[in-house]
Amino acid sequence: MANPFSDLTDKELMLKYQAGDNMAFDVLYSRHKDKVYSYLSKRLRDQDQCEDLFQKVFTKFHRSKKLYNSNYQVLPWLYTITKSEFLDFIKKRHHIKTEFVEEQHTFHQNKTEPIFDLNSEDTLSLDEREAITLRYLNEFDFLEIAKILNKTETNTRKILSRGLQKLKQKYTGVKS
């Protein structure tokens, strides 16, 4: 049996979903699940993590359905939720790795300390820190970083370049 809402626009479906009609969600989910999954799978190598995050995205979508503003398109709003959940995941994963590394340093005091901690670099803006992390630690390409930062690809390259120049000047004293 076909869903009677299949011909409605995303905005119309979202308004019905906000009013409590779950059949509208079924159509929204079937229209956009592949896009969300593709976005996440391109950024996460682990399929289990990708699937967990995918579920969190649609759980958050459901919980925040009343916050949707019909002046905006549904898909960009869903991508905003997806990006937010992804960044939260990355931050939590990075925090866990940082704690693990700190624990290793307490057991091996004779090891050399890292040259710098990117998170404590006060000379870098938040965008520069995030771009450097995504590019060099997570190996994202410029287009993926641009989407995450909500910037153009050209602007993302400039942000990354500026951040690297600041680090080079700070640690080598050479100004580019």
- Give the mean pLDDT of the chain: 82
State mean pLDDT over 132-151.
Answer: 85
* DSSP code, position 120: G
State mean pLDDT over 118-140.
Answer: 81
Residue with the larger pLDDT of the pair 15 and 140: 15
Contact (Cβ atoms closer than 8 angstroms) between residue 128 and residue 160: yes
- The architecture in CATH of the region 1-87 reads Orthogonal Bundle (1.10)
Q: What's the token pair of residue 15?
A: 């308004």
Rounded CA gap, 132 and 157, in Å?
A: 10
Rounded CA gap, 133 and 103, in Å?
A: 21
- The answer to whether the 1-87 and 113-176 domains have the same CATH topology is no
Q: What's the token pair of residue 143?
A: 């287009």
Read off the amino acid at residue 169: Q
pTM for this model (two decimals): 0.54
Q: Could you state, in order of their start, the residue ranges of all structural domains in the chain? A: 1-87, 113-176
pLDDT of 103 above 50: no
Asked which of 14-28, 115-129, 148-162 is least confident by mean pLDDT, the reply is 115-129
In this structure, whether the domain defined by 113-176 belongs to CATH 1.10.10.10 is answered with: yes
pLDDT of 109 above 60: no
Q: What's the token pair of residue 146?
A: 């641009």
- Looking up tokens 């590394």 gives 101
Rounded CA gap, 122 and 59, in Å?
A: 35
Q: Quick one: pLDDT at residue 126?
A: 86
pLDDT of 82 above 60: yes
